[in-house]
Structure 1
Amino acid sequence: MAKLRMGIIGVGGIAQNRHIPAYKKLSETVTIEAISDINTLTARTAAGKFDIPNVYSDYRDMFEHVDAVTICTPNKFHAEISIAALQAGLHVFCEKPMAMTPEECQSMIDAADESGKVLAIAYHYRFMKDSRAAKRIITANEIGEPIVARARAIRRRKVPGWGVFTNKELQGGGSLIDYGCHFLDLSLWLLGNPKPVEVTGTAYNKLSRMPGEVNMWGEFDREHFEVDDHVTAYIKFDNGASMLFETSWSANVKSDEETLSISGETGGVDLFPLQINQMKHGMLMNSEADWIPGEDDPGLPQAENFINSCLGNEELIVKPREAMAVSQIVDAIYKSSETRRSITLN
């Protein structure tokens, strides 16, 4: 069986905790041939930890030795590195968000189209067991045409205090572009990828700038905190559907919450946990799954889908144009907050 030769660019937490372990478990179809990081010590340490043979200070030097790359750098470099790899004839698996702007996303798509190579974006919430089950339920017309989505990705006090998550120049934003984007992507996928046409949003960063606040995920520079820690939005789609959306790193709420609810014409589906809500036989009925098949770690089926797509054995689940739609909404929410008006999308 043919094996995909993989290179890892950026070997921080997401690479070492999700992507590299997943590729190691899929060793029958992929081998990690090389890694690269601007911090050479981090790269060499990771190479020793995961038994990876080659370390490069410049990621371009690995291109001739691999078939594909996984990009785990700060958001600012997603487009630049993805385009360089695609132009070198490599498949690309890029961490979310796809890029800093919709324009960068389009440049990535153009490079992928010209190269004929696979371009995938790491929206791993699609690969969760509940998510895949909900997709099957909606595809089977159990709830009719989806009408309204309500998405909440709320953390009470969990600003990532490590890495560059609070660096606006390198990341482009905070809770929305880092965390909430997962629920935007999942919602769009379950709704059938309608086209967003109007976005109204507000981004806040008051709590994380206040002195004496508690944070469960380490210290960070409150005085120079410039990214969002709480975001709300209302999104309209071309098919008449709409979405109520909220995400946060910091919010004065009772507890963390990850929920997505979709109401359709004949029923509804909630996750997490998974539940179907219907009107049947003159009754209002709710049903839950006793068991859902699939991997508990969504990183494994995500990696498997990318590998099989590169090898020509499977269709890509997260398509680049779908990932660009998420970036369009993120960009519109930020613009709406800055201008205090609704943003119309072309």
Structure 2
Amino acid sequence: MKSTTKTSPLRVAIIGAGQVADKVHASYYCTRDDLELVAVADSRLSQAQALAERYGNAQAWDDPQAMLREVRPDIVSVCSPNRFHYEHVMQALEAGCHVMCEKPPAMTPEQADEMCQAAHRAGKVLGYDFHHRFAEDAQLLRQQVLDGKLGEIYVTTAKALRRCGVPGWGVFTNKALQGGGPLIDLGVHMLDAAMYVLGFPTVKKVTAHSYQKIGTRKNNGQFGEWDPATYTVEDALFGTIEFHNGGILRLETSFALNIVEQSIMNVSFCGDRAGATLFPLHIYDDNNGELRTLMQRETADDRRHFRSMEAFIRHVQGEPIMIADAEQGRIIQQLVAALYQAAETGKCVEL
């Protein structure tokens, strides 16, 4: 006779009770009967209490380590500011938890490498919320690349640009807490999407230029006001990543840049058989001077965060499903660091 015993839900805790914890992590966890949100930790106890109350009977803590020790969750979401990702991920892994961490992985490649090794030692899943790769557009294009439909992709251009979109909340303009500006906040997303579609080719060298021309003299934009006197991040960064296979990836990213569009978040790929634009997916080539569409979606998939969270949970539950894993997070962190180093020194960085 088949057993009808119901297994207990996996116990979930969240460290960092800001907007992404609310709108992405907690809201997803509470859609599932096989998960139970049991605790929220934040240095501001009132913030932890507010999030806990919105999603049921979770406990509120202002000490993540004490929460991990007393509550003993199975899964932890790390949604704290960038500077604290390393500390909180390592604590959660040491407590025997699977971890879903917001981007970027950490502040340095060395930290991301330690986090990767710690996950391997603990035998736990460490995933990162690089959610754009989970759009159906990205999944379809990755398969088309694997099938050879684009041929050899030799030029990729990733853009994460805002005309005047400096965040007026949080610590996004504080380099010490955030690690940087639009590259580590926005550009990292399109960088990951591009690398995923390309299959993470090995990198040969990196060059870059960064600029701080607007954020220190303006104070208002699309996302509210900021203080120019405490603006310590770049306005924009432009880099080129050269791969050992001969291809290049050009990355353009900005909080503030005098362009026509209010924002651009997209990646284009040029292969010797066809080209593609990622959001929404459009694959095309040339037919005697005329553009020919080979595949096209009318709108881009907007359930990327949901699919990212779902993939992580299914992976934790043992399904062989793709996630943005610890090793790929380490590679992305290494590229971010190399781009910043190249921009600061004006020299090519070899990897």
Which letter maps to 1:307? I
Aligned counterpart in structure 2 of residue 179 of structure 1, from 175, 183, 186: 186
1:128–1:39 Cα change, 3 Å: same
Q: 1:164 aligns with which of 154, 160, 171?
A: 171
Structure 2 Cα separation of the partners of residues 19 and 121 of structure 1: 12
CA RMSD of aligned residues (A): 1.8
C-alpha separation in 1, matches of 2:66 and 2:168: 32
Q: Does 1:98 align with 2:105?
A: yes
- Partner of residue 233 from structure 2, selected from 210, 227, 235: 227
Moved more, 264-273 or 83-92: 264-273
Tell me by how many angstroms 1:263 deviates: 1.2
Cα deviation for residue 288 of structure 1 reads 4.3
Point out the more displaced range, 4-13 or 307-316.
307-316
Deviations 1:154-209 (A, max 9, x none): 11111011011111111110110011000111111111101222110111121111
Residue pair 1:149, 1:187 contacting (<8 A) in 2 also: yes
Structure 1 residue 304 corresponds to structure 2 residue 304: no
Is the CA contact 2:15–2:77 (under 8 Å) kept in the aligned structure 1?
Answer: yes
| Kept after mapping to 1: 8 A contact 2:40/2:52 | yes
**Most deviating of 124-133 and 272-281:** 272-281
Show CA shifts across 1:7-36 (max 9, x none): 0000101111111111122x1332211110
Q: What secondary structure sits across from 1:207 in the alignment?
A: coil
Distance 2:285 2:331 in 1: 30
- Return the letter of the residue paired with 1:67: D
TM-score (norm 1): 0.94
Q: State yes or no: 1:215 paired with 2:221.
A: yes
Aligned mates of 1:22, 1:152 — CA distance in 2: 28
Structure 2 counterpart of 1:331, from 325, 329, 337: 337
Corresponding residue for residue 43 of structure 2: 38
Give the secondary-structure state (helix, strand or coil) at the position aligned to 1:314: coil
1:129 is displaced (CA, Å) by 2.5
> Identity of aligned pairs, percent?
35
Cα 1:260–1:88 change in 2 (3 A) is same
**Structure 2 CA distance for aligned equivalents of residues 308 and 17 of structure 1:** 20
Deviation of residue 65 (structure 1)? 2.7
The TM-score, its normalising length taken from structure 2, stands at: 0.93
- Is the contact made by 1:9 and 1:69 (CA closer than 8 Å) also made in structure 2? yes
Letter in 2 for 1:91: H
- Does the CA-based 8 Å contact 2:174-2:230 persist in structure 1? no
User: 2:227, 2:320 → 1: CA distance?
Assistant: 44
* Deviation (angstroms), 1:136: 2.2
Retained in 1: the 8 A contact 2:15–2:64? yes
Give the 4+ runs in structure 1 shifted more than 4 A: 279-284
Q: C-alpha separation between the residues in 2 aligned to 1:173 and 1:282?
A: 43
Q: Is 1:19 aligned to residue 19 of structure 2?
A: no
Q: Quick one: distance in 1 between partners of 2:197 and 2:228?
A: 37
Task: Identify which range, 182-191 or 129-138, moves more after superposition.
Answer: 129-138
**Please, which moves more after superposition, 27-36 or 295-304?**
295-304
Q: How far does residue 140 in structure 1 lie from its aligned partner after superposition?
A: 2.2
Contact kept, 8 Å, 1:119 with 1:319, in 2: the verdict is yes
AA matched with 1:121: Y
Give structure 1 stretches of 5+ with no counterpart.
none
Summarize the alignment of residues 1-346 of structure 1 with structure 2, pairs less than 5 Å apart. 2=7, 3-25=9-31, 27-63=32-68, 64-211=71-218, 214-255=220-261, 256-279=263-286, 284-290=291-297, 296-345=302-351
SS class of match (2:168): coil
Paired residues in the alignment total: 342
Contact (CA 8 Å) 1:120, 1:316: kept in 2 or not? no
User: Cα–Cα, structure 1 residues 282 and 171, in superposed 2: closer, same or farther, change >3 Å?
Assistant: closer
